[in-house]
Amino acid sequence: MTEPRHIEIQVLGDQHGTVLYLGERECSIQRRNQKVIEEAPSPFLDDATRKAMGEQAVALSKAVGYYSAGTVEFIVDANRNFYFLEMNTRLQVEHPVTELITGIDLVEQMIRVASGEKLSFGQDDVKLTGWAMESRLYAEDPYRNFLPSIGRLTRYRPPVEGPQPDGTIVRNDTGVFEGGDISMYYDPMLAKLCTWGPDRLTAIEAMSVALDTFEVEGIGHNLPFLSAVMRHDRFQAGRLTTGFIAEEFPEGFKGVTPNQTEARALAAIAIVINQAVQERAADISGALSNHRRVVGRSWVVTLGEHRFAATFEPRQDGALVTLENGPTLSVASDWTPGRSLARFTVDGAPLGVKVDLVPGNGLRLRLRGIDLVARVRSPRSAELAALMPVKLPPDTSKMLLCPMPGVMTAINVTVGEAVEAGQALASVEAMKMENILRSERTGVVKRIAVAVGESLAVDELILEFE
C-alpha cells in the first residue's frame, strides 16, 4: 500500500435502530503504533470518500447491533481506497476533536443512549464546522528516543482554556496536577491538548501557541516534539502517512534549530531579559550601598551556533535592540524577574517564551520546539569567554547505563562473558513497555552493578566492560 493513512469514523447509535456517523478523524501521526497527534476532519478526504466511509461504518455498526459511541478504523491509501482495520466499541482518547467540530457532547449522548433515549438529531443535522487538533502530552523524553520519564511534576500549568481573543478555542483534558508524581506503572499520557480554529492552519497556529504556553517541569515530556511537528512544512501541507515520524525524524528528535530570523528574535529577547535582571540587581545593590552602578547597554549574545553583538535602548513601550550588521528590533514584554513564562512581541510578532535563569549569565529560552541557552555578556567578558577551554564529557564508552527510570527485569550476561555488538544485555520495564538494552560494541563483561528486581534511575550503572 502506498502512503497509508490511519483514518477513523466516529459513529453514534441508539437502542432504537438509529446509527449516525459524525465525520472522521485523521490519526496518521503515530510512533510505535501509538497515536501522537489527531485532527478532525482529515485534510485528505473528499466529500464522496467521507460519505462512503461513513456509510460503511454505519452498516457495520447496524450489522452487529451496536449502539452508543464507537469508532470504526480504516487504513486509506494514496488513491483514497479504504480498508477496514478494527472497531473500537468505546469512547476513544481523541474524541474531543470530533466534539469541537460537530458541537456534539459524545459523553452526554452515551449517557442518554444508555438510559434508552432516542437520538434527538439525524444524519442531515450533523455538520462539520472548522478544524480541530489534538496533541497527546506524554511523559516521554524525546531527546532520549522517547524513553519513559517519571518523577514529580514540579510545575504543571496548562494554557488558558476556552475561547481565545482571536476566536480560536483551547481545551485540555487531563488528570494530573502540579506536585503529583508520575510513576513507572501507568501509561505515560499526561494530557490531551486540543485547539479549534475556522480552518486547518489557524488550528495549527493555535496549537503552537498553546504548546508554547504549556508549562511542564520535573520530568521529560514531548512538548518540544509536538511543537516541532506543528511547524513542519509537510505536516502543515497535510501530506501525512503513518510513517511520518519515522520518515521525517529518522535519527530521532534532536530539537529544533532556529533559523536566522528566529535566532535574532531570541537574541533580542535575551538582551531585554538580561537588561531587566541587571537593572534589578543594580537597584538592590545601590539601595544597600547608596551607590548604584551603571548598567551598560552593549552586549554580546551567544545562542547555539549564533553570536550577536547588540545594543539596548529603552523605550516607554519596551525597547529597541540593534544587532550588529543586522536589523533594529522593537521588543515589548510583560516579563519580570522570577516569571517562568513571558509573552514577548518582537517587531509586532507575538511569542510565548518559557524563561529560566541558569548560572553564568545564562538564559534558557524555549518556544516552538527550540530549547537553547543564551549567554549574554559584556563585550570584554565575551572576548575572554572565547578563550575558555571546552569541558569534555566523561567517557562512558565502557559502561551500560540505564536510559530511563524503571525496573530491571532481566540480565542476560555474566561477569567474564564476551559479548558482541547488538547482543541483548539486559531488559528494563517502565510504563507498560519492556526495553531491551543491547551492546553497542564487542567486549568482556567486567562487573554487573545491579540485580533483577531493582528499581533504577536514569543513567544508573548497570554493567561495565573491561
User: Active-site residues: which are they?
Assistant: 86
Burial of 15 (C-beta count, 10 Å sphere; 0-12/13-18/19+): middle
| Residue type, position 49, single letter | T
Contacts 24+ apart (CB under 8 A), 284-293: none
Chain centre distance of CA 9: 26
Nearest to 87 by CA among 96, 105, 74: 74
CA distance 216 to 153: 7
Coil, strand or helix at 70 = strand
| Residue type, position 285, single letter | S
CA distance 315 to 331: 9
Coil, strand or helix at 89 = coil
How far does the chain reach from its first CA to its final CA, in angstroms?
Answer: 48
Phi-psi region of 370 (alpha: psi -120 to 50; beta: other; left: phi over 0): beta
Helices and strands (H and E) in the chain: how many: 9, 31
CA distance 457 to 327: 47
Burial of 8 (C-beta count, 10 Å sphere; 0-12/13-18/19+): buried
DSSP string, 5-37: EEEEEEEEE-TTS-EEEEEEEEEEEEETTEEEE
| Crossing angle of helices 223-230 and 200-212, rounded to 10° | 150
Looking only at Cα atoms, what is the longest distance across the chain? 85
Chain centre distance of CA 351: 17
549567554: which residue's cell? 375
| Residue type, position 326, single letter | G
Asked if 421 and 442 count as a contact pair (C-beta separation under 8 A), the reply is: yes
User: What are 19's three cell numbers?
Assistant: 446509527
